[in-house]
Amino acid sequence: WIFLVTEVMFFGGLFAAYSLYRIWYPEAWSEGSLELDILLGGTNTVVLIGSSLTMAFAVRAAQTGKQRATVNWLLLTMVLGLTFLVIKFFEYKHKYDLHHIPGPNFQFEGPHAAQVQIFISLYFALTGLHALHMLIGFGILSTIAWMAHKGRFSAEWYTPVEMAGLYWHFVDIVWIFLFPLLYLVDRAHQLS
């Protein structure tokens, strides 16, 4: 739990920076958000919610001593996590193709290009750190799945599965905040 609190503080600093810049540059945030693919972001949201469900099933299977089911649910969770990362790769590639990578080669047509670059920088910082946490989670789940395969857990002792589940749910919850903050900025106003 202490580790998760430190993670909340870590992401909290980035969310605070996001909030300040959004207050200072609301038009740029709207323009930058429109550059993100809401379909891919929405798909990733559904994928991660599904992975939270499969992770909960893995914990439940471990609690009831069902080793094979624990392994299968963990593997399915990892497949969903990998699906998320593959989709994120294609999003990043699209940004690269459009020259929307912050730095000297950043290109954006519009009156708020410099501020949109800040939005895109925060997009990459937040989603990149989230993806790194997904990779770490993938490693943790791989280890836990191997341990479950070897019969190391029982209905009496399944703590590592439960702790891995807490971490995975934390990563999913971070995305639940990232999706609307990045992809849905002022979309309702722009559609009307």
Residue with tokens 């193709």: 97
The closest of 53, 66, 181, 80 to 126, measured between CA atoms, is 181
The closest of 98, 118, 107 to 26, measured between CA atoms, is 118
Instruction: Please give the average per-residue pLDDT across 90-110, as a whole number.
Output: 91
Start-end of H helices in the chain: 2-24, 26-34, 38-63, 67-97, 113-149, 159-183, 187-191
pLDDT score of 13 more than 90 = no
Split at pLDDT 50, 70, 90, the class of 93 is very high
Q: Which residue has the higher pLDDT, 6 or 151?
A: 151
Instruction: Please give the average per-residue pLDDT across 46-72, as a whole number.
Output: 96
Indicate the pTM of the whole model: 0.89
Q: From CA 109, how far away is CA 15, in angstroms rounded?
A: 26
Instruction: Please give the average per-residue pLDDT across 129-146, as a whole number.
Output: 95
The closest of 170, 176, 139 to 44, measured between CA atoms, is 176
DSSP string computed for 23-35: HH-HHHHHHHHHT
